[in-house]
Structure 1
Amino acid sequence: MGFPVDLRRCQALGLAGTAFLALGGETAGALPAHDFLAPGSVQAVLGLVGVYFGVVLLIAAWVLLGGVVRGPEPPTPRSLLLVLAVWAAPLLLAPPLFSRDVYSYLAQGAMVDAHIDVYANGPAQLGGPLADEVAPVWQQTATPYGPVFLVVASVLSALTRGQLPAGLLGMRLIALLGVALMAAALPRLARHSGADPAAALWLGALNPLVLLHLVAGAHNDAVMLGLLGVGLVAARGRWPLLGVVLITLAALVKAPAALGLVAVVALRSRGRGPRAVLRHTVTTTTAAAATTVVATAAAGTGYGWIAALKTPVSPHNWSPTSLLGRVTGAALGQLGSGLAPFALPAWHAAGLLVTAALLLFIWLRLRPGPVYALGLSLAAVAVFGPAVRPWYALWGLFLIAAAAPTGSVRTRVAAASAVLALTVLPSGAPADVEQVILAVSGGVLALVVLWQAHQAARPQSPVRERTA
């Protein structure tokens, strides 16, 4: 860029971005039903434009900060953590953004608190104003989350007595705790993997996807990734059993974290013979099984979470296998084939086979470092699973950020992150043409402002006086 860039300017620009996000979200976010505004209202229009204005400012600040991190005097990890705190601050009291999942979390916590089986019933069984906030597609759907997260949600429900504002704030604080654990783990994992801690923090914690979806969206993926990160730090240090416990707890929030147990075995037996691999496999499996039994018993929710892993996905998700299944099913239906209903399950099964093949290739043939291998594995699970959401990209990105072997890998991952940050409306609802136009208008307006700032900051060429 042609104008001065330093840590303070990046911090200020990102703060402006998240401030616009928070302000725009007041009228265009995933609002409670009693605050909902019609999409065509003036307030909603201004809010949507403001949110995307803020998103583009945030992405620009993050990209510029990446240049500072790669510069001759990179900031310290502590300085970057301060930037993360400043950027996240305006989002703390903002309404939920980019998804309504947080309302499902609160309803499921209230169900556990009311002794309703969340693995057999959807939020409609709870009834009342809290359940009414859950998106219609999930009203009759059992939860896919593990007992550890349900205990957290249940305790929050009891503390807030089902009050929506307090519950939303509490769930966001829980997500912020998860992000804090991620940020604490990243520099340590990066040093162990021979990567730059500052670059790891920039890509893995200050990433716009983290701020938009883990902080503003309050997704429980933050808790999963935070526990996974600190578990890996413990496993590679002096407390391997503690690491197994933490990673198992992460998997009892969301199941994909269970792949972290493979990384633990690889970390503990790296450079040793088959006997060491067998020994660490047995101890890891035993500790994980014991943790699962104790945690599930303490939660009191039973083992329904195993069957709930097959919870159906929404009909509009972005998964390649789901998209191919819908297209194939529609084509077979047009041909009058009786195989049409089997198209989607068949493609989902194919996705699982592809994922399994990729995992075997990564761990047995490619054999990168354990942390990087885990990042690649989680990325494969996210891409080829039956459902894909932008925040699922963080599963693999978090660990790829910590252990990426080259700068080119980080550049490609950063570019994908910037694109994904622009793909969801702040209301979390499917987009229509008018809303896309408004969102693009907000982004273009931000680019115009940035360009004007760039032009104003350019050094002016001296004007030579004409002499007679």
Structure 2
Amino acid sequence: MTTPGAPSPPIPGPLTARFARYAGLVGAILLGLAGHLGGALPDAPLGATPASIWRAPGGPATLTCWLVGTALLVGAWWSLRAGAWWSLRAGAWWSLRAGAPSTRWAYVTAGLWALPLLLAPPLGSRDVYSYACQGWTYAHGVDPYAVPVAAAGCPWVETVAPIWRDTPAPYGPVFVLLAALAVTVGGGLTGTVVLLRVIAVAGLLLAAFCLPPLARATGVPTRRAAWLALAAPLVGVHLVAGAHNDAVMLGLLLCGLLVAVRRPGRPAALLLAGALLGLAVTVKASAVVVVPFAALLGASGRTVFRSGAWLGGGLVAAVLGSSALTGLGFGWVGGLTRSGDSEQWTSPPTAVGFVVDYAGALVGRDPQAVPVTRVVALVLLAVALVALWWRTWRRLRASADTVSDRCRVALHAAGLALVATVVLSPVFHPWYATWPLALLALTAARTTWFALPVAVAAFLALPDGTNLARFTKAPGAVAMTVLLLFLLLRMWRHGPERSLHP
């Protein structure tokens, strides 16, 4: 959205854009090659270390392809990241650097980068095998929320990471149903993995379909939103090649928000939007934090509570309906408590707990602080979400901005809610950074603060699913704690105002 005479974001020269496109494509091809050489294949050895991967046959080639490919893909995406700030007085985007040349160019390039990864073995994680075994468990009449995949007798249990073999499924009934469908149609493990990847790609395609109308609704250049949200390296590696169910959650989430944006305040549309958001929740529960902010779209004053009631009705209907349809009830809620079994410094609350334990060890104590810091973080998350919603509602009530501005403010707050959820959760995996990515691409004026963590997270995993955080526990925990203290000090000095406004 621009006012007459205001400058538009600059468009990069054809040489710059072409170089970025094909550098990223070479990177994606190298990542696919790394997958074939040493990806998360069913028979790959578990519990590998970077040193053991290097010593394995083809290990140097695997790691070289992976690191060079990741660097090329990240660098190409970063080079066309359109950094900008929103000028409320001018009503226009003032761009610091050129982004993708056009929306079509961004979509075509993201598709080119995804193609080698679509044809590669699973990359960066073994979670797809957990999905397969959970689907197998349900398809064979066993409750995956009550019986872990090892006890259920899944024939592919040896492909599942050991930490998840004896834990209940932490995903909602809709995704368990989709995984069971993949098992039934796919037959063997290979067919199941292929279909799970098809399901993930379908979720991404749904998200890609929703991005342009949402960008127009918020007044953000569509080419910018598409590039940031779809060409990000984590999307290709973890949502396409890794077939993570986060792709399905994001597709349903954006679809629900689009319905709410297109027909604000209308009961039928709000019911449908709530149902779509409810389906997203029954894939991955973290989507629930967006629902209160969806009620702010097009609402003002007391109408927000009426909108919230219609949205809530649709969400409850979707959750109850899927739970009844699958016959699984609400056992998946209990499974969420086991998702924190993994302890890594990439989660700020966990990192702080590690540092407290290290400090205690220096004086001969064993504080066992990680569970405490995680609980404190969850309490802080609840407080932060309520404060963010209240502040956003008050701003919208007092605002005389255009419909586009109001929509952008509400969706930006929803993106910040997902950021808070990622930062304060007990565990963090690289693909979690994709949760707020699309909403921030649609609303945030400055891009570095959320694009940089996405770029860094792309280097945290190796092709076979080995997480580098496991081997940098102490220095990583200290570094994360120092970074957290720096950010808190900065927020205290400058106030949260800049964080809450696009």
Normalising by structure 2, what TM-score? 0.79
The residue identity in structure 2 corresponding to 1:94 is: A
Please, which moves more after superposition, 303-312 or 426-435?
426-435
Aligned pair 1:167/2:192, yes or no?
yes
User: Residues 297-376 of structure 1: matches in 2 within 5 Å?
Assistant: 297-317=324-344, 318-329=346-357, 332=360, 340-341=367-368, 343-365=369-391, 367=395, 369-376=409-416
Contiguous gaps of at least 5 residues in structure 1: 436-468
Correspondence for 2:156: 130
Partner Cα distance (2:471, 2:410) in 1: 46
The residue identity in structure 2 corresponding to 1:278 is: F
Partner Cα distance (2:161, 2:145) in 1: 18
Aligned pair 1:414/2:451, yes or no?
yes
Aligned pair 1:229/2:254, yes or no?
yes
Partner Cα distance (1:387, 1:197) in 2: 32
Give, in angstroms, the shift of residue 126 of structure 1.
2.8
Equivalent of 1:158 in 184, 190, 198: 184
Correspondence for 2:275: 245
Counterpart contact for 2:138–2:144, Cα < 8 Å: yes
User: Residues 4-43 of structure 1: matches in 2 within 5 Å?
Assistant: 5-33=15-43, 39=53, 40-43=55-58
Correspondence for 1:109: 135
Correspondence for 1:448: none
Give, in angstroms, the shift of residue 333 of structure 1.
6.7
Please, which moves more after superposition, 138-147 or 285-294?
285-294
Counterpart contact for 2:270–2:310, Cα < 8 Å: no
Distance 1:124 1:220, change over 3 A: same
Correspondence for 1:264: 294
Give, in angstroms, the shift of residue 314 of structure 1.
3.5
Equivalent of 2:76 in 61, 71, 88: 61
Correspondence for 2:169: 143
Partner Cα distance (1:281, 1:35) in 2: 49
Give, in angstroms, the shift of residue 233 of structure 1.
0.5
Counterpart contact for 2:82–2:99, Cα < 8 Å: no
Correspondence for 2:315: 288
Correspondence for 1:447: none
Partner Cα distance (1:433, 1:125) in 2: 27
User: CA RMSD of the aligned region, Å?
Assistant: 2.7
Counterpart contact for 2:234–2:454, Cα < 8 Å: yes
Counterpart contact for 2:139–2:183, Cα < 8 Å: yes
Equivalent of 1:94 in 88, 101, 120: 120
Counterpart contact for 1:236–1:268, Cα < 8 Å: yes
Equivalent of 2:66 in 46, 51, 58: 51
Normalising by structure 1, what TM-score? 0.84
Contiguous gaps of at least 5 residues in structure 2: 1-11, 85-94, 264-268, 396-407, 473-502
Give, in angstroms, the shift of residue 100 of structure 1.
0.7
Distance 1:332 1:242, change over 3 A: same
The residue identity in structure 1 corresponding to 2:206 is: L
The residue identity in structure 1 corresponding to 2:163 is: V
Please, which moves more after superposition, 367-376 or 195-204?
367-376
The residue identity in structure 1 corresponding to 2:450 is: V
Give, in angstroms, the shift of residue 248 of structure 1.
0.6
Give, in angstroms, the shift of residue 75 of structure 1.
2.6
Partner Cα distance (1:27, 1:434) in 2: 22
Query: Greater Rg, structure 1 or structure 2?
Result: 1
Give, in angstroms, the shift of residue 412 of structure 1.
2.6
The residue identity in structure 1 corresponding to 2:35 is: G
Count of residue correspondences: 425
Counterpart contact for 1:145–1:305, Cα < 8 Å: yes
Give, in angstroms, the shift of residue 34 of structure 1.
5.9
The residue identity in structure 2 corresponding to 1:214 is: L
Give, in angstroms, the shift of residue 243 of structure 1.
1.4
